[in-house]
């Protein structure tokens, strides 16, 4: 996987991704969009990248040509490679407790709230705490959590995601509303 969060404002065919700054539009979006944390591109773009809703993921054009948003199977493959057992990797919730896999995914740089428990970045993933934009349009958890979309939907309302926390050494797997804004990592085809 790429070692930084995606920050593109255009799809790989050159078309612009809609920038959604209005909270009401974000809340009711049923089509693709992105934003910058707290609408502040200058402060957040370079380090944290953009926050994309799941509809932008679903276009299949978000990552550069030759790359794609990782599937659920690709996330599980990485987690089991790092030591999570296959059964646990398929479960929802905080997983990888005994292996410290969340710490292996987190960067060791100063962006994280301290103590950034167990952070080693031994995986090379360099996970950053880019926070999220919630389905009600609020921005939350910068410096505390990193959230990444998976290219899998559960149903019409929910997509699959992963998260790591400043205070834990585990990896969270859940289903979140598609209107959330989360970071994206791309993986080579």
The token duo for 98 is: 């005994």
Closest alpha carbon to 61 in 94, 20, 16, 98: 16
Q: How many domains does the chain have?
A: 1
Structural domain containing residue 75 = 23-188
Is 10 inside any structural domain?
A: no
Q: Is 174 exposed, middle or buried (0-12, 13-18, 19+ CB in 10 A)?
A: middle
Average pLDDT value over all residues in the chain: 95
Give the tens place of pLDDT for each residue, 19-71.
999 999 999 999 999 999 999 999 999 999 999 999 999 999 999 999 999 99
* 28 DSSP assignment: T
pLDDT class of 4 with cuts at 50, 70, 90: very high
Is 170 inside any structural domain?
A: yes
Give the tens place of pLDDT for each residue, 147-179.
999 998 888 899 999 999 999 999 999 999 999
Is 12 inside any structural domain?
A: no
| % of the chain at pLDDT higher than 90 | 91
């Amino acid at each position: 996987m790429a070692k930084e969060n995606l920050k593109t404002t255009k799809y790989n065919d050159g078309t612009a991704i809609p920038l959604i700054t209005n909270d009401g539009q974000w809340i009711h979006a049923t089509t693709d969009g992105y934003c910058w944390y707290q609408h502040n591109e200058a402060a957040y773009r370079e380090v944290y990248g953009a926050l994309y809703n799941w509809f932008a993921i679903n276009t299949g054009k978000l990552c550069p040509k030759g790359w794609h948003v990782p599937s659920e199977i690709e996330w599980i493959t990485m987690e089991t490679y790092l030591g999570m057992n296959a059964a646990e990797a398929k479960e929802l919730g905080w997983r990888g407790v005994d292996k410290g896999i969340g710490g292996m995914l987190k960067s060791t740089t100063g962006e994280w709230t301290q103590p950034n428990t167990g952070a080693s970045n031994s995986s090379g993933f360099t996970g950053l705490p880019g926070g999220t934009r919630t389905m009600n349009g609020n921005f939350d958890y910068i410096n505390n959590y990193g959230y990444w979309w998976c290219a899998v939907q559960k149903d019409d309302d929910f997509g699959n995601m992963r998260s790591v926390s400043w205070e834990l050494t585990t990896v969270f797997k859940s289903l979140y509303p598609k209107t959330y804004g989360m970071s994206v990592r791309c993986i080579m085809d």
